[in-house]
Structure 1
Amino acid sequence: MSAVKSKRMPRAVREQQMMDAAVRTFGQRGYRAASMDEIAELAGVSKPLVYLYLNSKEELFTACIRREAAALVEAVRGAVTPGESADRQLWSGLRGFFTHTAEHPDGWAVLHAQARTHGEPFAREVAVMREEIVAFVTLLIAEAAREAHRNPSLPEREVAGLAEALVGAAEALAVWANTTEGVSAKEAASTLMNFAWAGLGNLMRGEPWAPPK
């Protein structure tokens, strides 16, 4: 009976099943150590079927990166409600990021630990995702400046630098949160918010820190 049901399973559902198995295997075993045999067994399909649908291990890994990257970007964007105060938008975005990475640790491992360390074209796929998140955070910070000053004084380059720093800190903190027992997504978001908004808040008030003369 199970074989009959498997044959009648819609292609999209079967592909999703294989992708789920692949993300779990790549995330926990690593790209090089993971085998198509393991992925097929976990998905409950034959190895030739995996190759039929997804062609090669490299293409399967690339597909996993793209799926997990799109899901993470959507989680961050979807958490933010336009029109809210600047600090509320940033808080919501951070909550969305840390909640998603906590709920999908294998997907986050694929993006952060695996794709970046195995060269092109995998690293490029992650870079595209990261650029999109940085661009979104840049808009949030620029919006905060507009909210605080009708004619914002923050240079575009400084806003971009702040966004890069914030995203980099979020990535590092997500790794720590996912490997430290008892740390919740809310706690991780609060930690970064306290760290980041103390400085951003001063900038919004026109009180930037300056190095000693």
Structure 2
Amino acid sequence: MPRAVREQQMLDAAVLTFARRGYRAASMDEIAELAGVSKPLVYLYLNSKDDLFSTVIRRESESLVAAVRAAVEPGESADRKLWNGLRGFFAYAAEHREGWAVLHQQARTHGEPFAREVAVVRGEIVAFVTELLGAAAKEAGCVGELADREVAGLAHALVGAAESLAEWVNCLSEEGTSGELTHPSAKDSAATMMNVVWAGLGRMMGGERWAPSGLAGQGSRSGVGG
């Protein structure tokens, strides 16, 4: 069997083991057994357990970014691009639950360098979302320092909310649902985010601003750019 194929089998086994057992409890013996190879071969191909975990993080991170980017079609309107990007994100989290668990639960809780590697891929997604929201603001004629700052902040908030929603949906899948609570699809989750973010962005572009009671009007500006 070609080395590249054998290595992917080991990484697949590592993803399952890390997701189910956790980084600390996962053993190289278990990973080797699941992959159908000897433990010395795992060390030969992928070095230490730390190196193996880092390789898994990089592979799953690249898959997540690729899924989001592949879902967005060039030439679409800004809202369709964001909608499809969100659908790609939630579809990845639902279809690759072990990989999502490694990125969202395991890698972030074990310090450097793992948390930093996850932060890098998150930064790529935030930058992509910022680009989409920035294009929408520009199309609406909202430019300037305020527009840039608000778009950047909204992009960070959107990615954080999407991560939290994906985690909740996956927890529903694991625990099962009961009563009237139904399991949201990737399309449902994307629609939830669009209803919150896009509707709010549209009002901002129209010059509306929320202000605490008694301060209404003090923060009012015309458009996102002021």
Both proteins in one fold, TM over 0.5: yes
Note if 1:58 corresponds to 2:50.
yes
Give the match for residue 97 of structure 1: 89
**Contact 1:75–1:100 under 8 Å retained in 2:** yes
Output one character per residue of 1:14-50: Cα deviation in whole Å (capped at 9) or x when no partner: 0000000001111111100111111001101011100
**Contact 2:137–2:147 under 8 Å retained in 1:** no
In 1, Cα distance between the equivalents of 2:134 and 2:209?
A: 15
Could you tell me which of 75, 80, 86 is aligned with 2:67? Answer: 75
**Contact 2:60–2:103 under 8 Å retained in 1:** yes
Note if 1:39 corresponds to 2:31.
yes
In 2, Cα distance between the equivalents of 1:191 and 1:39?
A: 38
Could you tell me which of 132, 139, 145 is aligned with 2:124? Answer: 132
Cα offset for 1:179? 1.2
Note if 1:152 corresponds to 2:143.
yes
Alignment coverage as a number of residue pairs: 204
Cα offset for 1:162? 0.5
Output the amino acid matched with 1:73: V
Give the match for residue 206 of structure 2: 205
Q: RMSD value over aligned CA atoms?
A: 1.2
Note if 1:12 corresponds to 2:13.
no
Give the match for residue 164 of structure 1: 156
Cα offset for 1:83? 2.0
SS of the aligned residue for 1:65 comes to helix
Output the amino acid matched with 1:200: L
In 2, Cα distance between the equivalents of 1:102 and 1:10?
A: 30
Cα offset for 1:210? 3.5
Structure 1 residues without counterparts, runs of 5 or longer? 1-8
Output one character per residue of 1:63-108: Cα deviation in whole Å (capped at 9) or x when no partner: 0000000110111111111221111111001000000110000000
SS of the aligned residue for 1:22 comes to helix
Output one character per residue of 1:156-210: Cα deviation in whole Å (capped at 9) or x when no partner: 2211110000000000000001111422111111111112112012123333333
SS of the aligned residue for 2:184 comes to coil
Q: Which runs of 4+ in 1 moved over 3 A?
A: none
Output one character per residue of 1:109-136: Cα deviation in whole Å (capped at 9) or x when no partner: 1101000000000000000000110000
Give the match for residue 192 of structure 2: 191
Output the amino acid matched with 1:152: V
Output the amino acid matched with 1:189: A
Structure 2 residues without counterparts, runs of 5 or longer? 174-182, 216-226
TM-score, normalising length: structure 2? 0.87
SS of the aligned residue for 1:119 comes to coil
